[in-house]
Structure formats: C-alpha cells, structure tokens
Amino acid sequence: MKELDPMILLAVFLEMLGPLLWLLLAMVLLGTAAFVALLVRERGIAASRLVRAQLVGLVGGVLALVLMATVSSSGFTDAAGPIDWILIVLVYGLGMLGTMVLVYTVAGWTRLLRR
C-alpha cells in the first residue's frame, strides 16, 4: 500500500467494527457539536465539571483499549515494536479524550435542562 486511501481505511474499519463504526462516528459528530454548543452557551469551561469528566475519561481510555483488543486479532502481548506501543497510547488517549468530552457535555446539558 503506497498511498493512504480513505476508502481502504473505511473498508478496514467496517470489517473490524461492523455497524459499531457508524454508532461511534455518530457519537463523535453529535458529541462534538453538543460540546461546542455547550461552550458557546456557557461562555467557558466549568472547572469542577471538567475534573470529574477527566476522572471518568481514565476509565474511557481503558474501555477503548478493551475494544481495540476485542476487534483486532492481536493482544497486548503481541506488541513488539515502537509503533505498536505508539498505537496503544494513541488509542488510550483518544478513548480518554472522547469519553471526557462526552461526559462533560452530558453533565453540562443535564444541568442546564434541569433549570
């Protein structure tokens, strides 16, 4: 593979995740839009809510690693080279960040809608 073709990446992710891919993509798009709307509405970030979301994000990173190990044919003991460890750290970081944004957003909108 000499070129990075988006359609090939889409086919690989569809093969690995199946219908879960579309659910994850929808969560990313809707979660990001709701997060931006919340930031605009509140005109800033609530520090205490952010800290709680970061704590939950730690668990989200672990769940992302579990999902990665479930859908791939290799486990963590198969990681040999530096790129394997970079990928593991990247998956954990993205899972943590995504969970943190979603938890922050849900908590913020829940607080606003209760008023």
Per residue in 86-109, pLDDT (tens digit) is: 888 998 999 999 999 999 999 999
Q: Pull the structure tokens for residue 31.
A: 């979660």
Separation between Cα atoms, residue 111 and residue 114, nearest integer Å: 5
Residue 25 lies in a domain: yes
Number of domains in the chain: 1
pLDDT, position 70: 86
pLDDT, tens digit (0-9, with 9 covering 90-100), for 8-27: 888 888 888 888 889 989 99
Nearest one of 42, 48, 58, 44 to 99, comparing CA atoms: 58
pLDDT grade for 1, boundaries at 50, 70 and 90: low
Find the domain containing 56 and state its range: 6-114
Residue 1 lies in a domain: no
Separation between Cα atoms, residue 27 and residue 10, nearest integer Å: 17
Separation between Cα atoms, residue 115 and residue 108, nearest integer Å: 12
Return the H-helix or E-strand segment holding 95.
helix 82-114
Residue 44 lies in a domain: yes
| Chain position carrying tokens 């659910």 | 23
Separation between Cα atoms, residue 73 and residue 64, nearest integer Å: 15
Q: Pull the structure tokens for residue 14.
A: 């569809």
pLDDT, tens digit (0-9, with 9 covering 90-100), for 33-89: 999 999 999 999 999 999 999 999 999 999 999 988 888 777 667 777 788 788 889
Q: Is residue 13 packed enough to be buried (19+ CB in 10 Å), middle (13-18) or exposed (0-12)? A: middle
pLDDT, position 60: 96
